[in-house]
Amino acid sequence: MPRLLLLNGPNLNLLGTREPDVYGSATLADVEDLARTTAEAVGLELRTVQSNSEGALVDAVQAAREDCDGLVVNAGAYTHTSIALRDALAAVALPFVEVHVSNVHARETFRHHSYLAPLASAVIVGAGVQGYAFAVQRLATMLAEQSAS
């Protein structure tokens, strides 16, 4: 069964209590449950990693090359700063969908640039935590198309 890695970066462990007016009330556990339920409904397995450290996220991306077919990535603030994470995603060359809970384009200008977006298959912003479900569904479609071709 194809497998996805759901990667959440810094401060996303605080979802549910962190700036609820911006990020809503769903917790990281809620997000992981939603993504897993969505994945299982379309015949995919889901592995989850959350870390506040950039190096651990790079390690998780590298490890995904061994056992995953695609990634859902919310790198939090590292989205806007991390060339290392971008290089890791380029190195493993797995399809990934970038997700942001909030509409980063309606926020501070430093959130408008993503080092990851040019490599992403799709970018979903501002859909709340439902964006994670959309990302899983998009990857399921892409993987099905890939295996049919």
Ligand X SMILES: O=C1C[C@@](O)(C(=O)O)C[C@@H](O)[C@@H]1O
Q: Site residues (CB under 6 A) for ligand X?
A: 11, 74, 76-77, 79, 100-102, 104, 111
Which of 36, 100 has the CB closer to ligand X? 100
Which of 38, 82 has the CB closer to ligand X? 82
Question: Shortest CA distance to 126 belongs to which of 102, 110, 99?
Answer: 102
Alpha carbon of residue 40 to chain centroid: 17
136 is in an annotated binding site: no
What is the nearest approach in angstroms of ligand X to the Cβ of residue 100? 4
Please give the structure tokens belonging to residue 93: 């060359």
Which of 38, 102 has the CB closer to ligand X? 102
Taken in order 108, 56, 119, 96, is the CA torsion positive or negative?
negative
Please give the structure tokens belonging to residue 124: 């979903």
For the question of residue 115 being annotated catalytic, the response is no
Q: Which residues are catalytic?
A: 23, 100
